[in-house]
Amino acid sequence: MSKFAVYPGSFDPITKGHLDIIERSLAIFDRVQVLVVHNPSKQAFFTIDERIEMIVKALGERSIDGQVSVASLSEGLLIDYSKKVGADTLIKGFRTGVDIEYELPMARVNRDLSGIETVFLPSDPANTHISSSLVKQVANLGGDISKYVPQSVIEAFRGKK
């Protein structure tokens, strides 16, 4: 059976940590979809369309755009969307135990309500300190974010000025 996984998140913006999780997930799943989800508890900096554009370009930069699709979800439950598109697994990356504390209840509720499992991939140690929120802070205060994000994100920040 073909294994299709959805990798959901805010991706505001995508980082090299996210891209590492996507690349590694391709060794486990036949198809992966990056799903940009509107998270009402977070104040977004980039629009959903801007986030999708940065991700598509970043996948192209790494030549994995053929194996990975990109979509968005602005309302409704993640599990309902996943069932609708035929995904059997959710992917989540975690950097430290703090991420696990936040993710574990969601993984349990998602499985409880739908049977859809969440696979957790540990971040590469080189990426443990990278977060979208720190990237936004550094970029918006004029700092260099090139270590942390793909070229498409650097260009998107320039376009916002």
Cβ of 42: how many Cβ atoms within 10 Å? 11
Q: How far apart are CA 85 and CA 35, in angstroms?
A: 12
Q: 55 is written with which tokens?
A: 């991700």
Chain centroid to CA 155:
19
Nearer to ligand PNS, 60 or 76 (CB): 76
Cβ of 30: how many Cβ atoms within 10 Å? 11
18 given a catalytic annotation: yes
Q: 118 is written with which tokens?
A: 């969440």
Given 16, 18, 51, 92, which residue is catalytic? Answer: 18
Q: Which residues bind to ligand PNS, rule: CB under 6 A?
A: 8-10, 37, 39, 42, 77-78, 106, 109-110
Given 24, 57, 95, 111, which residue is catalytic? Answer: 95
Nearer to ligand PNS, 12 or 150 (CB): 12
Q: How far is the CB of 77 from ligand PNS (least distance, A)?
A: 4
Rg (CA), the chain: 15
Nearer to ligand PNS, 2 or 107 (CB): 107
For 73, the 3-state DSSP assignment is: strand
62 given a catalytic annotation: no
Q: How far is the CB of 98 from ligand PNS (least distance, A)?
A: 12
Q: How far is the CB of 80 from ligand PNS (least distance, A)?
A: 8
User: Catalytic positions, please?
Assistant: 18, 42, 95, 132
